[in-house]
Structure 1
Amino acid sequence: MVLLRVFGVTVFCLCIFCSIAFAGPVVLDKRLAEPFEECGYKGCFVLLDAERKVITSSDLQLVDKPLMPASTFKIVHSLIALKSGVHENVDSVLKWDGKNRGYKPWNQDLNLEQAVKYSAIWYFEETARRIGRERIHEELLALGYTNADTKGSTIAFWLDGNLRVTPLEQVEFLEKLYTGGLTFAQENQKAVRDLLLLEKNDDYTFWGKTGWAQRVSPQIGWLVGAVKVKDGRMFYYATYIESSEPGASFSKSRFEITKKCLKLSGIIS
C-alpha cells in the first residue's frame, strides 16, 4: 500500500486483482466516506474515470465485497432477454396477471421500458422463466459478470438466491456497456443504455439503476450507472448501502450519497 496525491488529498493506493478491463490501482479517497456517515449507513462508493483509467473508492475493504445485485440485475437481464428473443425490443409487452401487488404502476400490462422504469419484479420473474435459469447462467459465465449463480428458492434469484456481484464488477460491466464492449448486439446495448437515463442538463447526463434487496439481512441498497459531463468525459459509479433496520431515508440515501460523492470528486457541481 502506497501514498498518492489524488484530488488534492493524500490517499492510499491498493492494487486489487480483479477482472477490471484495465489493470490499475484502486485509490482511496477518504472524503467519499463522509456522505455515508452523514446518512448513517454503512456502504461503499466506487468511481471509474474512463479517461484517466483510475478507480476511486470510499472504502478499500468493501470494493470487492460480494453482494446481492437486487434490481441492478435488470440491466444485464434486459440484455439477455433481447438477445434470446424472449423480448423482441423494449416495447415488448407482458400481460398483467391481474394480481394486485400493492404498487399501482405494476398492476397493468408492461413493456420492457416500463418494467425497468418501475422495477417491476413480476415482469422480470416471467422473463426469467421464459429465458430459463441455465441460459441466464451461461450468459453470465460468458460475460464474467457476477458469480453466475442462478439457483434459488424462487425464480427471482437476484433477490433471494445466491447471485452476487461486487461494486468493482458493477463499474467494470457498466464501462463495457456504455462503450458497446459487451457481447450483445450494438442496438440492444444502446436500447438498454437509453432505458437508464435519469437526468440530463447543460452540465451532465446521469444514468442509473436502483436496487433494493429487502428479503435479506442486512438489506442492501444500490444505485449504479454512468455520468457524462459536457466535455464528453465518462465516469461509471456504483453506490451500495446496507442496514439491518433501514429507515425511511434508506431509498433516497442512495441518490443523496451518490450525488455528494460525485460533487466531492469534482464531476458535478
Structure 2
Amino acid sequence: MRYSPVARLAGKLSVCLALLGGSVVSASAETVLSRDQFSDQMGDRQSSFLARDLMTGTVCRLEGSDLETRHAPWSTFKIPNTLIALETGAAAGIDHWRDWDPAQRPALQYWPEAWRQGQTLKTAFQRSAVWYFQDIALDIGSPSYRTVLEDWRYGNAVVPDGSDAFWLGGPLKLSVDEQVGFLTRMVQGELGVQNAHLADLMDAAHAGPLGSATLYGKTGSGPVRSGQFSGKFEGWYVGWLTRGDDVSVVFAHHVTGPYFDAIRTYRRDFAETLLTACGLTGAQQ
C-alpha cells in the first residue's frame, strides 16, 4: 500500500470497510442514503453530502444531493489557505503570531470575543478568526492565489486583484464534488505541499474521535444574501477521517437553513450522522 505524506507524518490512518444496513441503497461503487430516514434531524434545512472511501474507491451520498452547484467556500477555505500561508512564508509556522489591530480590522457586531485578540495560525483556524486570514491574503496577493488555486483545481479559482475576502460569499466558489476532489488530492499528497505543512494542517484540523475513526474538519458559513445576517444562511462541514495507518475517507457537507442558528451545530452534527450511516466510522449503526 502506498502511504500519503499525511499518513506518514500524522500516523492516524486506516482502511475503512462499510457494513451497510437495510436503510442504505447500494450500487457497485456507490451507496445512496435515503433522505426520508433523516427527515426529523434535517427539519427545514437542505443538505447535500458526499463522502469518498479512499481505500475501496466507493462513494456515499445523501439522496437528492446537489453535488455540482458551486457555492462560496466561506471558512472552509482556511484548509487551503493555511497550506498556502505556510508554503509562501506568509506564516512562518502553525504558531505564527499576529496582533489584532482594531483600527485596521474593527470588530463587527457578530464577532465572538475569541476573535477580538491576537492569534496564531492554529488558533485562527480553530476559532475561524476571519481577520487573521484577511491579513494573510493581503500578504500573499491575488496573483499568487490564482496560480496556486488553478494548479490545485480549487473550484473556479477566481480571486479579484487586491481582495482580502474573495472566499466570503464569492467570487471564489466550488461545489460539493469539487470540495471532495480537492481534499482527495490533498491527503494523497498530490498538491506538491511540504510534508511538515500537511502535518501542521492535520494538527489544526483535528476534531476528535468519531466511532473508531478520528475526525478532521472545518466549518464555514455565511448569509445567502450578502449582508443579510438575519436571513437565510448556507454552511459547510468538510474534512477527512483517519483509521489506523492511513486517511480512509474524505467528505463534504453543504447545508442551507432559514437562519444561522439553524445550521450552526447542524453542519457538523449531520455530517457525523451521515458518515456513520455510510458505515465509514467503524461505529455501530
Which of the five TM-score ranges fits, normalised by the shorter chain?
0.7 to 0.9
Flag structure 1 segments of 5+ consecutive residues without an equivalent. Answer: 1-5, 14-24
Identify the residue that residue 125 of structure 2 maps to in structure 1.
Answer: 116
After superposition, residues 135-150 of structure 1 pair within 5 angstroms as 135-150=144-159
CA distance in 2, matches of 1:264, 1:224: 17
Task: Give the letter aligned to residue 184 of structure 2.
Answer: E
Q: Distance in 1 between matches of 2:93 and 2:192?
A: 17
| 2:61 paired with 1:31 | no
Show structure 1 runs of 4+ deviating over 6 A.
none
Q: What TM-score comes out, normalization by structure 2 length?
A: 0.80
- What is the identity, as a one-letter code, of the residue corresponding to 1:205? T
Q: 1:103 maps to what in 2?
A: 112
Question: Which sections of structure 2, spanning at least 5 residues, go unmatched?
Answer: 1-18, 227-231
CA contact (8 A) 1:71 1:158 kept: yes
Q: Identify which range, 55-64 or 81-90, moves more after superposition.
A: 55-64
**Given that residues 60 and 278 in structure 2 are in contact (C-alpha distance below 8 angstroms), is that contact kept between their aligned partners in structure 1?**
no
Report deviation, 1:11.
4.8
Task: Give the TM-score of the pair, scaled to structure 1.
Answer: 0.84
**Mapped contact 1:42–1:242 kept (Cα < 8 A):** yes
- 1:76 equivalent in alignment to 2:54: no
Q: Which has the higher contact order (CA 8 A, sep 6+)?
A: 2
How does 1:4-19 map onto structure 2 within 5 Å?
A: 7=20, 9-11=24-26
Cα RMSD after superposing both structures: 2.5
**Which residue does 1:256 correspond to in 2?**
269
Distance 2:259 2:280 in 1: 29
Residue-pair matches, total: 251
SS of the residue aligned with 1:164? coil
Tell whether 2:203 aligns with 1:222: no
Matched, 1:239 2:253: yes
Please give the per-residue CA displacement for 1:194-232, whole angstroms capped at 9, x wherever unaligned. 210010378221111000022637532100011123585
CA distance in 1, matches of 2:206, 2:39: 24
Identity percentage of aligned residues: 25
Distance in 2 (CA, whole Å) between partners of 1:192 and 1:36 is 34
Distance 1:232 1:149, change over 3 A: closer
Amino acid at match of 1:159: L
Which residue is equivalent to 1:204?
213
User: Matched residues in 1 for 2:260 and 2:197: separation?
Assistant: 37
